[in-house]
Structure 1
C-alpha cells in the first residue's frame, strides 16, 4: 500500500511545480497501482509524460490542470481533513474513490471532468510510446503483450492466436536508430 508521497522526479519538470507533480504522481499511482512483479503508473513515468505533454502538445490544458489540482486539494481537505499529500495511502485511495463516484454521478462537475482527464492521461502515459515520456521500460506494452512500433509483420505473425510476446518489442526510437544504421 502507498504511503505519503516522497516524489523526487528524475526528470526536469517543464510545467508542473514540484508539489503539483507529487500530487499527480500520487493520483496516477492509485489509478494504475503497482503490484508485485507488475510496475504501475509511477514506475512507468506517467507523471513525466503528463508534465511533458502539458508543456507541449497539451499546453491548452494548462489552466485545467492548475485549477483542477487546486480544486482537488480543496476536495481532499473537505473530504479527508488534509491535503492529498498529507494523507496516508488508505486515505488517498478513499479520496480517489469518492472522486471517482462524483465523476460518475455528476459528469458535468469540473472536478469530475478533471479527474477523467487525469485518468485518460494516465492511460496514455502508461501505454504510449516511451518517446513521449511515459511507458518507461515499455512496462505497459509488456503488460498487454504489445510488440510496439513495427515496420510490419510476417504472414505468420498475422494469424489469429499468434503469441505477440514472441515478437521483439520496438519503440519509435528503435526504429529511427535502425534507419540511421542503414546508411
Structure 2
C-alpha cells in the first residue's frame, strides 16, 4: 500500500518541532483544569481521527493505558491552541490526507478502520517518514509521533499523561526538587520515590510560604 498522498513540507512548517522555552510552554499550555475534554482547536471529527492515530502509536493493553487513555489528544489540542499554533494548518491538512488513505482502504475515516488496517497504514507512514523527507504525509506522521511521546510522558499540567500513566510505565518519579546521593546511584529503583507533578510542587511551595 502506498501511503503517499501529498508532497512537499507540511505547510509552512517543517517536521522539526520548534524550540520552545520551558517556562513559556508551561504558561501557554497549562490551565486550572488541564483534563477538561473541551476541544480548543480540533472539531469533533478531527479529534476522533487523531485519537485513533495516537492510539496506534502508543497502544494500550489491559492494565497499561495507551496514548488515547492517557489524554494525548488533549495535550496536542491544547498545544495547537497555544504555542504550537504554527502547526495548525499542518494538522488540518494531515488529518484530511489520513482520511484519504482510509477511503482507499474502503472506509470513510481512519477511526472506522479495523485495528490491523490502521496498523498497516501507520507502519507505512513510519517507513515513508524515515525514507522521504519531501513526503508531506510521512513528515506529518513524524510530527504526530513526536507530540504523542511528549503528551504521554510529559507533566499532566500540559493535558496528557492522565493518572501519570506514562511515568508509571517507565518508573519515573516525576517532578522532584532534588535527589539524594543514594537515589542517584546506578540501579536505584526510582519507582520507590513518591511521584509528584509540577502542580504538586507549586502547591507544596505555596503551603510553606
The two structures share one fold, judged by TM-score above 0.5: yes
Q: Deviations over 1:156-179 (max 9, x none)?
A: 111111110000111000001101
The superposition leaves residues 107-144 of structure 1 with CA deviations (integer Å, 9 ceiling, x where unpaired) of 32010010000000000000000000000111101111
Please name the residue that 1:21 is paired with.
47
Moved more, 105-114 or 18-27: 105-114
Give the match's secondary structure for 2:122.
Answer: helix
- Give 2:170's aligned residue: 144
CA shift at 1:10, angstroms?
Answer: 5.8
Match of 2:106 among 78, 81, 90: 81
Which residue does the alignment assign to 1:59?
Answer: 85
Counterpart of 1:122 in structure 2 is 148
TM (normalized to structure 2)?
0.80
CA distance in structure 2 between the aligned counterparts of 1:147 and 1:136, rounded to whole angstroms: 15
Structure 2 counterpart of 1:169: 195
Partners in 2 of 1:103 and 1:156 — Cα distance?
Answer: 42
Deviation of 1:106 (Å): 1.9
> Which 10-residue stretch deviates more, 84-93 or 138-147?
84-93
For residues 175 and 124 of structure 2, the distance between their equivalents in structure 1, rounded to whole angstroms, comes to 38
> Structure 1 length normalisation: TM-score?
0.90
Which stretches of structure 1, 4 residues or longer, exceed 6 Å deviation after superposition? none
Of 68-77 and 98-107, deviating more is: 98-107
Match of 2:94 among 53, 61, 68: 68
Counterpart in the other structure of 2:61: 35
The structure 1 residue matched to 2:124, chosen from 82, 98, 109, is 98
How far 1:45 sits from its partner (Å)?
A: 0.4
Alignment length, in residue pairs?
A: 174
Distance 1:66 1:173 in 2: 32
Separation in structure 1 between the aligned mates of residue 142 and residue 71 of structure 2, nearest angstrom: 19
Greater RCO (CA < 8 Å, at least 6 residues apart): 2
